Every structure is written in structure tokens, then in C-alpha cells.
Amino acid sequence: MLKNLNDALDYIETHLDETIDFHEIEKIVGVSEYHFRRIFSFLATMSLNEYIRNRRLSNAAFELQKGNTSVTEMAFKYGYNSVDGFSRAFKEWSGKNPSDIKSITSFKAFPKLTFQLTIQGGIDMEYRIEEKEAFKMVGLKKRVPIIFSGENQEIMKLAQSMTQSQRERLHTFANIEPNGPMNASFNFDEGRMKEQGNLDHMIGVISTLDDNFKGFDVVEVPKLQWAIFITEGEFPKAMQQSWGKIFSEWLPSSDYELVEAPEIAFIGDLTDRSNVRCENWIAVKKKK
């Protein structure tokens, strides 16, 4: 997987001044574009689009510094539809106008990325793979800011907005193990790995029942295979650390790739927050 990721970066590097063919990247990496983008963002702590944009602007800066090309040529070479659009992006990235680069002795650069393996203390991860029939996520949904650590206050407000009668009614819908309260995150903004932007978060249950679910939001989830990870420890710290290890350690070394679907967590009894049992679910499929 590590070699394939670096081969994909080499492909991107040789096509920075062209339209990048993501079908070709899928062939190189051996996984879907969705999986590649997600793994890249967790390992590189930036989105793939941001990386490509920064590499193109960095190359443009070097070429402008040499003085052999114009700003207009650079704009169209690196895929911008107008000189103004290129200039805005360049200044946002470097803090300088592209037309000024020739007269500047030092300027910003963004080097090519290479993934390398770092061996850290091994930590066992308890998980299982299960196939689940199609189900519905039923509950209350809200667009909330992306927060990596600690409790997300907007999610807390969402939880507090749920009435006791709503909780009791939701409990009657829950008919899939572990039959407990569900927290699901999906529709992430691109700035996720920089803790920027927002996501859709739902609190509720999962159900296979046919009901009108009046008063609740409903998200349909198709039949999928799920990797289910069990964590126990301080809440929410242990659960959040588990998510990080799933994406940065388990996925790159496993025989599975991601399938586009909500990330789901089932949170156990919160009476003693120093030791809470959680299940983290991610949808996966076997690599080709």
C-alpha cells in the first residue's frame, strides 16, 4: 500500500500541468478514488485537492522566478480559467502577487510529498468484519463544526434538544445490534484534516423497520460490509483516538478499502466517563 501511494504521488507529479485522471490513480493504488482521498487526507493532514493545488502553485512560483514565462501562461498551464483567479489563489497561498515574484529573492515553496513508514509502539485493535443488510439511520440531524478533541458543543446542543419522549420513541425503532444510541458523521467538508469546516451529525438509532418516523430525520444506508472496532476508556478521548488509528494505521495495512458511507459510533453507558465502551463502524470492501 505504501509503494502504491507513492506511485500515485509520482503520477500526480508528472501530470500537474494536465487534467489528472483519477481512474488511472485507482489502477495505480488498487483502491477506489474515495478510499485514496480519505487515506491521503489522514496521512498527509490535508485534502488531496489542497495538495495538488499547492504543488501547482509552487511549481508556478519557480517558473515565474526564472523569468521565462508570463503570469498568463502560468495561469492557463496550471488549469485556471482566468489570470485573476490564478492571481487570487497564488496570493492566498504565498502572500505575494505572482507578478512580483521575479523581483523577490526568497519566496514560498511546497515540496513533493513522500509517504514513509514509521514504526511506533504496537497497539492491539479489537475489530470484526460484519455484513449488514440495508438499514435506516433515524434521529435528529444537524450541520456542526469539525472538532478533533474534546466534546463538540454543537453536538451536545443537538443531544440536549432531544426530548425524553423522542428518546423513548427512538428506542422502539432500534432493532439492530447493539440496539443503543447511535452517533453518525457524514458529508464532511474538504478541510476536515485541518479541523476546518463542517459535517452532518445525527444522533439516533439504526433500524430496518418500515415506519413514517414522523418528526425525525432519516438517512438510508445500503447493504454493506462494516469493520467494527471496540474501544474502552475515557470518553470521548479513547473513541477519538480510535478513529485516528483506524484511518492512519489499520486501513493502510489492511486488505480492505473504504466505501462511501457514514462513520457510525455506538456509545455505551456514560455514567462513568473514565471507562466507556464504544463501537466505531466504517464501511469497507475487500481490495481488488
Share of the chain above pLDDT 70, in %: 95
Share of the chain above pLDDT 90, in %: 52
Do 222 and 263 meet the contact criterion of CB atoms below 8 Å apart? no
Confidence (pLDDT) at 214:
94
Residues 85-99 have pLDDT tens digits of 999 999 999 888 888
Give the pTM. Answer: 0.71
- On average, the pLDDT of the chain sits at 88
Beta bridge partners of 198: 145
Beta bridge partners of 203: 140, 183
Task: Tell me whether residue 274 is exposed, middle or buried, using C-beta atoms within 10 angstroms of its C-beta: 0 to 12, 13 to 18, 19 or more.
Answer: exposed
**Mean pLDDT along residues 229-252:** 85
Residues 144-178 have pLDDT tens digits of 999 877 788 999 999 999 999 999 999 999 999 89
For residue 114, CA distances in Å to 15, 16, 40, 94, 192 come to 16, 16, 11, 22, 21
- Phi–psi pair at 174, nearest 5 degrees: -65, 115
Is residue 27's pLDDT more than 70? yes
Residues 195-216 have pLDDT tens digits of 789 999 999 999 999 988 999 9
Q: For the chain, which domains are there?
A: 2-103 (1.10.10.60), 127-286 (3.20.80.10)
